[in-house]
Amino acid sequence: MGEENTAVNLCPGGLRLASGEVLPLHAGAVHYWRLERRHWRAALKTVRETGFKLVDFYTPWGVHERAPGQLDLGEEDERLDVRAFLDLLAEEGLYAIVRPGPHINAELTYFGLPKRIVWDPACQARSPEGNPVVLPMIPTMFPVPSYASEAYLDEATRFYHLLGEALAPYVYPKGPIVLLQVDNEGAMFFRDGPYDQDHHPDALAKYHAFLRERFGSIDALRTAYPHLSEAEGPMRFSDVAPPRAFDVETTAELAHHLDWAAFQEDLVAQSLARLNGALQSAGLGGIPTTHNFSLSQDRTPLNAARVNGAGIDLVGFDYYNLASEADRASVARRSSELAVRSEKQNVPAYACELGAGYPPFFPPLAERDTMFTALCCLAYGVRGFNVYMAVERDRWVGAPIDPRGRPRRLARFWKKLIEALDGTDFHHLKRRVPVRLVVPRMERRLARVAHAFGPASGALLAVFEQGPRESCYEDDLGLGYPLAVEADNFLRSFEQALDSRGVPFAVVGGEDRDIAFDGASWVVCTTSGGFADTLAGRLAEVAGRGARLTVGPHRRRFDGSMSPLEDPESAFGGAAVDWVERDDPASADAEVSRAVEALGLPSFACDPDPVRATVHEDADGVARVVFVINPGETDVMARVSLGVEADFEDPIDPLRTRSDRGVLELRVKPYTVRMLLRR
């Protein structure tokens, strides 16, 4: 939004309305066009009675369009009367989150885009060979659009303006629309491998403009890419072709590939900026905007700093996880990163899609998976969520409310949970995380370009907890060690060592300039030997404020594009750095033990393994909510070292207990999370 708007603003608790009311982001997804209109009111009434305050919905371009430049907004099909749906929503005292795409997915054929758009060659993303980039999706594979295509962006803008005529009168305070999503899961339509796309002519033009801005002069370009200059003779910006595969043999060749990955991040952000501007000009401005990052976003071109720079106010994550230890660790990693970044920006950590149910052609998500994931998200810092789906519809199984608006068993869980969150002002509580595990942006780009499985997306493998050590090439490029792999091992070793001791930590990533260090007393940075001077400066700043700084498993020798540095230590400005040049668990355990003793780090140790606990405090530092997580397959009597004596109550699965001499003891069923409120 830029400057603060007087009608509705983001705040840590959710959305602050002009009246002064803070509206927590407790939303449920309802797809009006997929329901019989006669059931709309019943569905919305049950959504409200379940405790949701907002209704999230897409307005699908391909469903509403009758012909180019013509939309059906209820004139032909009564289910498409989005204005009538918004009227009912307002009558029920609900607010709206509107998601007009153009990409919406939603398990729709062509992901909600008109057929004419995906089959228009001018709109299609292109492979290195110039072919359309096809997504093998159920029920119909299709060529995906190019985020660079001027034709695609112009058509999307035309759709926005047609839709805006209907929706603009409903923007708060005139109506219930309080949040607007720009596009959806902008990971290049899941063809997000670094060498899949995009070689559309408009993309190549933007790539050459990116290089001009990055290097400024032809001489600087030739210095950065010496292997291209030697192979091709005189080289200008327009001569540089994107890399087609990871064919790197020396570190000197890496910059070309890492810059291509950086360009893809810029390309997505530029497209979102263009779409955001189109929505504003269509009369849908004046309210906050958001964008949702898909699963394993760190293996895609999605870059939170650049998306925010495109004018998107709130970046949130999607969650579709199972009840398991591997998924607990994944949720912890992603949610902690989202939470510290959101806290730095003074916005809520928001789960844009928190899966409740599943498409029938995907692996099933059972009710226990939904409850486990929801509570884990909250345990590790999420403060708002959109339950996707709240109301059942076609191509979906397992929503808490059926298509006629009748609540199912799972609705009781959401009702109890929201009541507990509201009753404790949970969105105002904080989880202290004094340890930050830093993943430089260069490492994430390196993991993308060095991905060894060709067309199998790195993001897809990461969903199954396959990181660089399982999925990246192990070539040493003359360094004597495999890039990306050892840095990943180093990070995981510290993560596991901290986890086993119950020390709260957050994984932190992003652009070097926006990494969140506030409140950190120990910062551990993993590196393959290179990161940007800006990050080195940020690390020096946090060390200068008294935080301990650990870097490994390699000393810094390169910059953020893996180009050699003449004086790699200078950017630290003399700050004290503990260089740990080993990536084994024993070394990480020793470092954690020393830090706990030297820094007095909090520890909420749990027994037996794999039980974990997180603590959430009020502004006075008093523990108000405790989550006890059992991701294992057996029923356990868990012991948690809280360090406080108090009575606690589980509002979801009735239980009262007390921490005796600072130790909380309670039964936790398998694949279950206990949310305990201090009485």
Give tens-digit pLDDT for 432-473: 999 999 999 999 999 999 998 877 788 877 877 788 888 898
- At 549, which amino acid appears? L
Q: What is d(CA 86, CA 175) in angstroms, rounded to the nearest whole number? A: 8
Q: What is d(CA 65, CA 75) in angstroms, rounded to the nearest whole number? A: 12
> What pLDDT sits at residue 275?
98
Sign of CA dihedral 448, 453, 459, 463: negative
Radius of gyration of the chain from Cα atoms?
Answer: 25
> What pLDDT sits at residue 2?
44
Closest CA to 451 of 441, 439, 460, 438: 460
> What pLDDT sits at residue 465?
74
Closest CA to 430 of 605, 621, 606, 602: 621
Per the CB < 8 A criterion, the answer to whether 198 and 128 are in contact is no
Give tens-digit pLDDT for 293-303: 998 898 999 99
Query: Exposed, middle or buried by CB within 10 Å (0-12, 13-18, 19+), for 491?
Result: buried
Q: What is d(CA 546, CA 544) in angstroms, rounded to the nearest whole number? A: 5
Q: What is d(CA 42, CA 537) in angstroms, rounded to the nearest whole number? A: 56
Residue ranges for the chain with pLDDT beneath 50: 1-3
Domain annotation for the chain: domains and CATH numbers: 8-190+262-427 (3.20.20.80), 201-258 (no CATH), 435-599 (3.40.50), 606-678 (2.60.40.1180)
> What pLDDT sits at residue 3?
47
Query: Could you give the angle at which helices 409-423 and 40-50 cross, rounded to 10 degrees?
Result: 50
Interior angle at CA 335, CA 330 and CA 338, nearest 5: 130
Sign of CA dihedral 29, 33, 36, 38: positive
Closest CA to 115 of 124, 128, 126, 106: 124
Residue with tokens 């190019």: 146
Query: Could you give the angle at which helices 367-379 and 325-345 cross, rounded to 10 degrees?
Result: 40
Sign of CA dihedral 297, 298, 301, 306: positive
This prediction's pTM: 0.96
